[in-house]
Amino acid sequence: MTEQLLFWVFAILTCGGALAVVVTQNVVRMAFWLVVSLGSVAALFFLLHADFLGAAQLLIYVGGTVVLLVFGVMLTASGHTIKVQTTPAETLLGCGVGLLLLCVLVFGINSVEWSDVASRIPKAGDSAAVTDHAEDVRLESAVTSAKSDESRDKAKNAQEAVLARRQSGRTLRQLGLSFFGLRPDRNLNQEAGKPLAPGYLLPFEIISIHLLVVLVGAAYLARAKRRVTPGLEADL
């Protein structure tokens, strides 16, 4: 109920902010609305319990990109407000690209078998703090008080099933290990002899090298072209 309400609040803020970015003509106000829109997207991620994704969204888009955007505007703006005027051709082009993106998204969403996905999502209203502890106590007492080996095994299996289910939403460690080329989500408990699922070590390294090249390039472009005598430097 609360989550539904919050979802609608942040969904409206996301769409409204995005719309305001398009409608506004002042660049700094655009940046402000962009913050609203991107921040609300992060909030939607947090609502879905995707903490890592939400934090990355905040760090990269809100904290990084928008700050750089405003910084760039400050360096280049001549007046204290600058207007962005679009020509009709640009508006048409923008609408076309937007429509194409919408088509891609709609087709993408339609092509997913949602009933299959829905079965893997933990039930709604699963309050972690309360149910976890109650269930732990119940299962532990079941394990210790079990009379026969058979019932103890049964209780242990149930306990492990609970642990596995609880693990399903917490993906941070699996994510980290995947970047090292390990796939604990796939490779644990798999049959011997089967090939291991590939991790993301190679793409990760390629992206790292790529970023390093970009950094070196930026430093090369931004270097002082000639010696500037100290004192004559432009103060920031």
| CB-based burial label for 192 (10 Å; 0-12, 13-18, 19+) | exposed
Q: What six digits make up the tokens of 35?
A: 């913050």
Q: How far apart are CA 87 and CA 93, in angstroms?
A: 10
- The residue (of 213 and 228) whose beta carbon lies closer to other proteins is 228
Residues of this chain, 61-90, that bind other proteins according to CB under 8 A: 62-64, 66-68, 70-71, 73-75, 80-81
- The residue (of 113 and 235) whose beta carbon lies closer to other proteins is 235
The verdict on 184 binding other proteins (CB under 8 A) reads yes
- The residue (of 115 and 229) whose beta carbon lies closer to other proteins is 229
Q: What's the min distance (Å) between Cβ of 230 and other proteins?
A: 9
Give, as one character, the DSSP assignment of residue 108. Answer: H
DSSP H helices, the chain, are: 2-23, 27-47, 51-57, 66-76, 88-111, 114-118, 128-145, 149-167, 172-179, 184-187, 201-222
With CB under 8 A as the contact rule, the residue among 152, 154, 156, 166 that binds other proteins is 166
The verdict on 32 binding other proteins (CB under 8 A) reads yes
Q: How far apart are CA 179 and CA 201, in angstroms?
A: 5
| Interface size with other proteins, residues (CB under 8 A) | 45
With CB under 8 A as the contact rule, the residue among 89, 117, 172, 224 that binds other proteins is 172
Residues of this chain, 117-156, that bind other proteins according to CB under 8 A: 127-130, 132-134
Q: What's the min distance (Å) between Cβ of 150 and other proteins?
A: 22
State residue 55 phi and psi, 5-degree precision.
Answer: -65, -40
In angstroms, the first-to-last Cα distance of the chain is 51
- The residue (of 83 and 147) whose beta carbon lies closer to other proteins is 83
Q: What six digits make up the tokens of 79?
A: 């007046």
Give, as one character, the DSSP assignment of residue 26. Answer: B
The verdict on 165 binding other proteins (CB under 8 A) reads no
Q: Which residues bind other proteins (CB under 8 A)?
A: 26, 28-29, 31-32, 35, 51-52, 54-56, 58-59, 62-64, 66-68, 70-71, 73-75, 80-81, 127-130, 132-134, 163, 166-167, 170, 172-173, 177, 184, 188, 233, 235-236
